Structure 1
Amino acid sequence: MNIYILGFFTPWIIYAIITLLHYFLPGRWVTGYVRHSETGDLLKYRLNGRLVLITSVLIWFVLGYFDYVAFDWLYEIRWASLAGAFVFGLLFSLWIVLPFPSTGKSVLSDVFLGRLENPQFKKGTIDAKMWLYLIGAVMLELHVLSFLAHHYNTFGSIAPGLMLCAAMLTYFVLDYLSFEKVHLYTYDFFAERVGIKLGWGCLAFYPYFYLIAIWSTVNLQNPHTPIWLLICYALIFLMGWSLARGANMQKYFFKTQPNRAFLGIKPETITDGKKTLLVNGFWGLSRHINYLGEILMGTGIALSVGHPEVFWVWLYPIYYIALLLPRQIDDDKRCASKYGNLWQVYINKVKYRIIPYLY
């Protein structure tokens, strides 16, 4: 078979394998935060992302070890694979939008933003949003390993900066899939629908674009970045992770166990008698401190490869800025509508939107 045709359909095959693993491997049922739009019941989710990730990596390793597929196969067919994922993402997005009733907005708006809020299949065994994030995360990790293998085959060793970048991305993926239940309480699940933005975004954009720091430097020589500088880059990433993970965990415990202290921080709240808002800890630093964490993680990843002169590596943190600034504005509007006067009390107390003392 022509390598370009095989490359085009490679993501389709991998996505099918991940889906089968997700469906058949053991999982735990978790009650989420979002309610069913018709019954009002809290949605339940079957989660096994970490097990699917580990199993997928083991399959990749076995196939490479026995020479069924080259370890750097995903690098070799990267452009054809990207085209295949691009088309698959579009087809999925159209499939999950067009057959369903309009939201009242234009067709283009519905296709981009979606019509269904929280679609689930196979009696809830597969939740569309969790499946999309799982596909993107596992495919990203397989890309990281394959591109690293190509770099090793080319130079006979792996540049420390590239190794650090790969470790950060791997940690990012493993962390997300280890805390799946926490993310059921994030903006994506209670405020977004499934359309091109989320569907194509997870199937084509996430697993390819998040790789851009490695993709754009994998064929460059080791820049001999000093160890102390690599440590600084790792600390930037870890600082960002601490803010993002800490904020999400504090919110998760507040939603599920309102009186529980997190990292020794006892919840401080404001209320109007019906609704309650958390105003201390991570959520006392800024109203979207987790967004700052995401941007810092992206910055650490961009710096780690040791080629700041390569423009492409900066697209990763720039993307987070472009994504999260409008989301912050939309989320503030949504919260102002939901909480009314209480929201005004909150923003008077927590004055900064994302960056404490700056913005």
Structure 2
Amino acid sequence: MSPPEPNAKAVELNPRTTSYEFLGPPGALFVTLTVPFVTYALYFGCSEATGGCPPNLSTIPDQVKAALSNATWWKGLWDMEASLMYLAWYMFCVVAWAVLPGDRVEGTMLRTGEKKKYKINAFSTFLLAMGITTGVIYRYGPESFTFFYQKWVGFCTAAILMSVLQGLACYAASFQEGKLLALGGNSGNFIYDFFIGRELNPSIGSLDIKSFNELRPGLILWVLINISMACEQATRRGGLNQITDSMWLVLTFQTWYVADGLYNEPAIFTTMDITTDGFGFMLAVGDLAWVPFTYSLQARYLAFKPVELGPIWTAAIVVVNLTGYWIFRDANGEKNDFRNGKNPKNLKFFTTSRGSKLLTSGWWGLSQHPNYFGDLLMALAWSLPTGFNTPVTYFYIIYFSVLLVHRQRRDDENCHKKYGKDWDTYKKMVPYRIIPYVY
């Protein structure tokens, strides 16, 4: 049964998408299949259960062939207990969103002339989850919180299935009358629209699904998984006081990064994910599966391959991370102040013919995305504690570099459409894209 034909007003508000990203439907299908595959591959390619990180390269083809042809291996991807625990975790986040107090803030102006309101209490949800986790570990010992390490594959499968179900549900719901669609997700091709996201802001009542998933279930779970990896290491080494300096660095850096993002929750409502992208499988699997189960690779590696850094290497890595955080936070602070009509640093700016103002000094005079540069430095600091015995643990910095370059190019294309020749003028004033004097 095909969806009803939209009326003229709906067509004007939700025009048909005429250009593709990700090379269109073939690219969308490729990424849809590749993301779960890579998520699993990073486990099976970096795990003591499969022979190391990575296992002997000459044995990998035979291992893959044997696994894929074995029904027991496929059944092993599913773990009912892990799935129920994941569902309970997701519902915990929903209930915490509903019952914990929080202000309501307005997002950017929609094409309808309205502004969506969001309840902000992600940081409170994080503190509650951390409090419960701390209590469990204090009461029952670190061995009580190693289940993420023990049931890794089952949790990963549950998160991927949740992503597929949400992607399909949001796609189906987007055909209801009165829905505001994403300008880039209304192509009419199921594969592409399911992946990229057809509806801009799918909601259940006042619960905005996109911003909820962006900040709560996956991001907080990332920290809980890291804690579980530290508990696994502590259990093996004889107690919490035996956790290595490398594990403490990864745990501290990444927990701080998550806490900072959750504390500054309102900043997310001006990002491209919220203002421009629809919510489909791309964001669902990224938020719910990719972030917690690939970003925690370093901690999982250190759980079974502990690394002792010593004070000099520890201090050097701390400097790298703090430098990245300073650039990231200070650059975002300059931008947020400027958007809110403040300019405490008296930064220079360029005014376009549309009346928009673009910063051309401070951090934003050094590159078009200085915050991305800070992000990359922090990503490097998260991988360095694992040492140099394997390139696998540096997957995050490599992937993140590709992601940020892709985001920069998307932003460049959108700004060309928005500002026209003014954007070319701006790029002459600020020629570097991410890393000053390099790129």
Q: TM-score, normalised by structure 1?
A: 0.92
Over aligned residues, Cα RMSD in angstroms?
2.0
**Distance of 1:268 and 1:97 partners within structure 2:** 44
Paired residues for 1:69-148 under 5 Å = 70-101=144-175, 103-122=186-205, 124-148=206-230
| Residue identity in the other structure for 1:109 | Y
Structure 2 residues without counterparts, runs of 5 or longer: 1-75, 176-184
CA contact (8 A) 1:182 1:248 kept: no
What is the letter of the counterpart of residue 297 of structure 1? M
SS at match of 2:172: coil
1:323-351 residue CA offsets vs partner (Å, 9 max, x unmatched): 11111111101001101122111101001
Deviation by residue 1:191-237 (Cα, 9 ceiling, x = unmatched): 2221111111111111111101111221113x331312111111111
1:309 to 373, 389, 394: 389
Distance 1:193 1:243 in 2: 29
Name the residue aligned to 1:284: 365
The structural deviation recorded for 1:65 is 4.3
Question: Aligned pair 1:294/2:375, yes or no?
Answer: yes
CA distance in 1, matches of 2:276, 2:116: 15
- The amino acid of 2:285's aligned partner reads W
Q: Percent of aligned positions with the same letter in both sequences?
A: 25
- 1:225 has 2:309 as partner: yes
Equivalent in the alignment of 1:187: 272
**TM-score relative to the length of structure 2:** 0.75
Counterpart position of 1:337: 417
8 Å CA contact 2:210–2:274 kept in 1: the answer is no
CA distance in 2, matches of 1:166, 1:17: 23
Q: Is the 8 A contact 2:163 2:288 kept in 1?
A: yes
Alpha-carbon distance in structure 2 between the residues aligned to 1:132 and 1:12? 17
- Distance in 1 (CA, whole Å) between partners of 2:91 and 2:164 is 16
Tell me which amino acid in the other structure corresponds to 2:373: L
Alpha-carbon contact 2:368-2:432 (below 8 Å) kept: yes
What amino acid maps onto 1:43 in structure 2? K
Specify the code of the residue in structure 1 equivalent to 2:254: L
Report what 2:356 is aligned to: 275
Are the equivalent residues in 2 in contact too, given 1:234–1:304 (CA < 8 A)?
A: no
Alpha carbons of 1:66 and 1:225: their partners in 2 closer, same or farther (altered >3 Å)? closer
CA deviation after TM superposition for structure 1 residue 125, in Å: 4.3
1:98–1:111 CA contact under 8 A, matched in 2: no
Contact 2:245 2:310 survives alignment (8 Å): no
Matched-pair contact (CA < 8 Å) for 2:219–2:292: yes
Which amino acid in 2 is paired with 1:37? R
Which letter does structure 2 place at the counterpart of 1:302? S
The alignment status of 1:247 with 2:321, answered yes or no, reads no
Name the residue aligned to 1:203. 288
Q: Which runs of 5+ in 1 are unaligned?
A: none
Q: Distance in 2 between matches of 1:254 and 1:121?
A: 33
Letter of the 1:329 partner, please give it: R
Q: Aligned with 1:225: secondary structure?
A: coil
Q: Please point out which of 134, 154, 162 is paired with 1:61.
A: 134
Match of 2:300 among 215, 233, 257: 215
* 2:232 aligned to which of 146, 150, 164: 150
SS of the residue aligned with 2:173? coil
Q: CA deviation at 1:134?
A: 1.6
Q: In the alignment, which of 228, 232, 252 is matched to residue 167 of structure 1? A: 252
Instruction: Report the counterpart of residue 81 of structure 2 in structure 1.
Output: 6
How far is the alpha carbon of 1:4 from its aligned partner?
A: 3.0
CA distance in 1, matches of 2:328, 2:199: 27
Deviations 1:165-203 (A, max 9, x none): 110011011010011112222222222221111111111
2:115 aligned with 1:42, yes or no?
Answer: yes
Superposed displacement of residue 42, structure 1: 2.4
Is the CA contact (8 Å cut-off) linking 2:213 and 2:284 kept in structure 1?
no
Q: Which residue identity lines up with residue 283 of structure 1 in the other structure?
A: W
Q: How many residues align?
A: 349
- Out of 431, 436, 439, the position equivalent to 1:351 is 431
